[in-house]
Amino acid sequence: MKKNLILFALTFGLILGCSSNKKEKELVEKKHEGLKKDFVVRDASSNTRPGWVEDAELWAKEYGKDTSKYRYFSYETEPKVGRSIACNLAKANAKVDIAGEIATFIDKQLASSTEGRAGIDENNPQVQGLREFVSNTLAEKIQALIHGAAVVKTYWEKRNYQVDLGAKRDFSAFTCAVFIRIPSKRLSAAVNEAANHVVKKADDPETKANVKQALKDASKNFVKAKQGTI
C-alpha cells in the first residue's frame, strides 16, 4: 500500500510538472493564431511569436541565458510600410526605449519616496523641478550612458489589418522586434549615473540628501523591478 501511495505521488507530481512546463511554454512561445486582433499575420521570420518580444528578462531566464552577467530588453515597432524600415527603426530606437525605462523607474522611485515620508515633500518646488527634469530631460542623458547594448535576435511580422477585424481601414504593414543584451555592470553604471544626475540637480543640501537616500541602490532596485521581485 505504501509503495502504491509513493508511486501515485510521483506520478501526480510528474503530471503537475509537465502541466506547469506546458503552461510556461505557452506563455513564452505563442502561435500566431492566438495573436489575431485587428490584423492577420501573413508572413513572419519564424513560425511562432518569440516570448522575448513580450518579456525579454523572463524569456532569457526560462531559456538558460546568463542573467547575472547580462540584462535583457526587447523593443517592437509600430506598423511600418516596409520590413527594412521597421527593423532599422527597431535597432535604432532600442537604446531610446531602455533609457526611457530607466528614467520612468527613477521617477517612480522619487514618487514613492514622497508618500508617507516627511523627508521628501512632493509640494516642494525643488522636488517638483526634479520630477520635471526626470520626465523631460533624463532619458536623453541616459542614452549617452548606455554602452555595450547588442542586438541578439530580430523578429518581424507582415500583417494585414482588416476593417472586419476592428481596424480603422484595410492595409498591410510590417512590425519588427529586437532582443537586446547589455552587460549587467554597464547597465548598473548607467542607472547609478542617471540617479546621480538627479541628485546633482537638487540645490539645497536637505533636498539633495533626501533624494540621494531615495535613490540609494538604484541599480539593484532597477534589476529587482525588472525581475518582479519588488
pTM for the structure as a whole: 0.77
Q: Calculate the alpha carbon distances from 17 to 10, 25, 111 in Å.
A: 10, 12, 41
Extents of the domains making up the chain: 32-227
Helix pair 125-133, 205-214: axis angle to 10 deg: 50
Average pLDDT over residues 219-223: 90
Q: Residue 220: is its pLDDT beyond 80?
A: yes
pLDDT at 12 (0 to 100): 37
Amino acid at 63: Y
Q: What is the pLDDT of residues 180-193, one digit of tens each?
A: 999 999 999 999 99
* pLDDT confidence tier of residue 121, bands split at 50, 70 and 90: low
Interatomic CA distance for residues 191 and 102, integer angstroms? 7
